[in-house]
């Protein structure tokens, strides 16, 4: 059961058989965090929970689960009227649900199951990516560590006001976030460069493989020949929390040049830097690319998800109570 705050694994020998549910079920978590879970293994539950199951051949229980899942905000609103958020069995018993043809229920379940699986896969890949990034960038004492001030040339971008930007400019211009402020017909930073935002979205880090414009809230990190700019990007991403800790909390949060230049990074051989970059690039494409890997698959599934979710919401409600599933 995916319920970190309520689940506990016990020996079924310690539980009366009558309290063990062996049917695939929808579990209602009615108190505190109000939500629904689908579970298809034997389980028991606490008194403030109840479960629905069905033997009706014309009903896909997983379909009912998805409909209830997308209706959680409705039940949470009901529960919010209590000092401790809580709903009662009549709230779910009397809730109307659409019962389309079984073939359509099954198709909806297939799409939503696939979308859920891909999303879980993306989460796993991100964890793997972070793990390998941490591992690849962990060096022993044989590799020298230096401050950024010792190895890079840090420059601030050039001030550019919004009215100077062009609607059809060729180069993106970055100011106080990694979303371009606009576009311009000239650039002041060459491709293959890492930058750090010094105000606004302060501490955010980016690498660009194309020429671009950097305004005055951007630190441009120019690297020497023995330091790969892309390696520098990954090394800084691995220490981004340290960078965030250096932010001066004022009306406009800012990052000083000195705090950036004090950050230490490893400097392995250039060939080793390139090897690490090649590995992390593959993970990055898989996890973050909008045209390749899992994000592209999720984008396609998201469109299907929205289409079928629309069908769920567009079913006309019957004039009286729809048939309910059994519950424990």
User: The domain 148-266 belongs to what CATH superfamily?
Assistant: DNA methylase specificity domains (3.90.220.20)
Same fold, 12-101+317-327 and 148-266: yes
- Rounded to whole angstroms, the Cα distance separating 207 from 276 reads 16
CA distances from 209 to 146, 192, 212, 321 (A): 25, 5, 9, 60
Residue of 14, 48, 5 lying closest to 29 (CA atoms): 48
Q: Domain coordinates of the chain in residue numbers?
A: 12-101+317-327, 148-266
Model confidence at 328: pLDDT above 60: no
Model confidence at 154: pLDDT above 50: yes
Mean pLDDT, all residues of the chain: 84
Whose structure tokens read 């409909």?
67
Backbone angles phi, psi at 29, to 5 degrees: -95, 105
Threshold 0.95, pTM exceeds = no
Q: Give the confidence band of 12 by pLDDT, cuts at 50, 70, 90.
A: low
Residue 24: both structure tokens together:
């695939």
Whose structure tokens read 């809230």?
217
Topology classification of domain 12-101+317-327: Adenine-n6-DNA-methyltransferase TaqI; Chain A, domain 2 (3.90.220)
Q: Dump pLDDT digits (tens) for 202-235.
A: 999 999 999 999 999 999 999 999 999 999 999 9
Sign of CA dihedral 104, 109, 112, 114: negative
């Amino acid at each position: 059961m995916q319920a970190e705050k309520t689940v506990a694994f016990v020996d079924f020998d310690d539980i009366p058989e009558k309290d063990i549910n062996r049917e695939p079920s929808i579990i209602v978590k009615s108190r505190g965090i109000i939500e629904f879970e689908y579970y298809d293994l034997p389980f028991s539950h606490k008194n403030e929970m109840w479960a629905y199951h069905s033997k009706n051949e014309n009903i896909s229980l997983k379909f009912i689960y998805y409909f209830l899942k997308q209706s959680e905000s409705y039940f949470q609103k009901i529960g919010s009227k209590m000092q401790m958020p809580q709903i009662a069995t009549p709230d779910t018993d009397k809730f109307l649900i659409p019962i389309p043809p079984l073939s359509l229920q099954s198709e909806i379940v297939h799409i939503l199951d696939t979308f859920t699986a891909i999303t879980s896969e993306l989460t796993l890949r991100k964890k793997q990516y972070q793990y390998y990034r941490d591992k690849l960038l962990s060096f022993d004492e044989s590799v020298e560590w230096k401050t950024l001030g010792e190895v890079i040339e840090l420059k601030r971008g050039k001030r550019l006001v919004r009215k100077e930007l062009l609607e059809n400019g060729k180069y993106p211009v970055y100011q106080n976030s990694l979303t371009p402020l606009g576009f311009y017909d000239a650039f002041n930073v060459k491709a293959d460069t890492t930058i750090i935002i010094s105000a606004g979205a302060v501490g955010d880090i980016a690498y660009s493989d194309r020429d671009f414009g950097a305004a005055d809230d951007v630190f441009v990190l120019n690297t020497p020949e023995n330091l790969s700019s892309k390696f520098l990007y990954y090394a800084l991403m691995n220490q981004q929390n340290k960078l965030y800790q250096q932010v001066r909390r004022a009306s406009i949060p800012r990052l000083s040049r000195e705090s950036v230049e004090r950050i230490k990074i490893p400097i392995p051989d250039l060939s080793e830097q390139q090897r690490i970059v090649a590995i992390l690039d593959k993970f990055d494409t898989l996890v973050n690319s909008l045209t390749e890997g899992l994000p592209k698959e999720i984008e396609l599934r998201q469109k299907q998800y929205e289409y079928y979710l629309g069908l769920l919401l567009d079913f006309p409600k019957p004039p009286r109570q729809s048939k309910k599933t059994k519950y424990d």
